[in-house]
Amino acid sequence: MERSRNKVIRVLLKMTIPIVIGAVVGYLYYDLVGCNGSCPISGNPYISTVYGAAIGAILINWKQNINFLFKGENNEEEYK
């Protein structure tokens, strides 16, 4: 059974959107809550953005998405 382009794009979006949202939230945390240089995470916009993106990456179901993209071993009905 061949995977359609739309299903692959949908899976890639499911993997990237949480990372982008996490990066935006990390930057907003720096901008709205952050302190002046002494805090290791919220004192630097780059570090807080990377931490936010990392938290977004943690929330992704990596195993299921990677299996679908590279091995094609998932039930394709989940991605409809």
DSSP 39: S
* For range 65-78, the mean pLDDT: 63
Task: Enumerate the domain spans of the chain.
Answer: 21-70
- C-alpha span between 51 and 35 (Å, rounded): 16
Contact 70, 11 (CB under 8 A): no
Q: 59 phi and psi, to 5 degrees?
A: -80, 0
The more confident residue out of 16 and 76 is 16
Q: For position 1, what pLDDT does the model report?
A: 44
What distance in Å separates the CA atoms of residue 74 and residue 80, rounded to the nearest whole number? 12
Give the model's pLDDT for residue 3. Answer: 64
Is the predicted pLDDT of residue 14 greater than 50, yes or no?
yes
Tens of pLDDT, residue by residue over 15-59, are: 899 999 999 999 999 888 878 767 887 888 899 999 999 999 888
Identify which of 54, 55, 73 has the alpha carbon closest to the alpha carbon of residue 63: 73
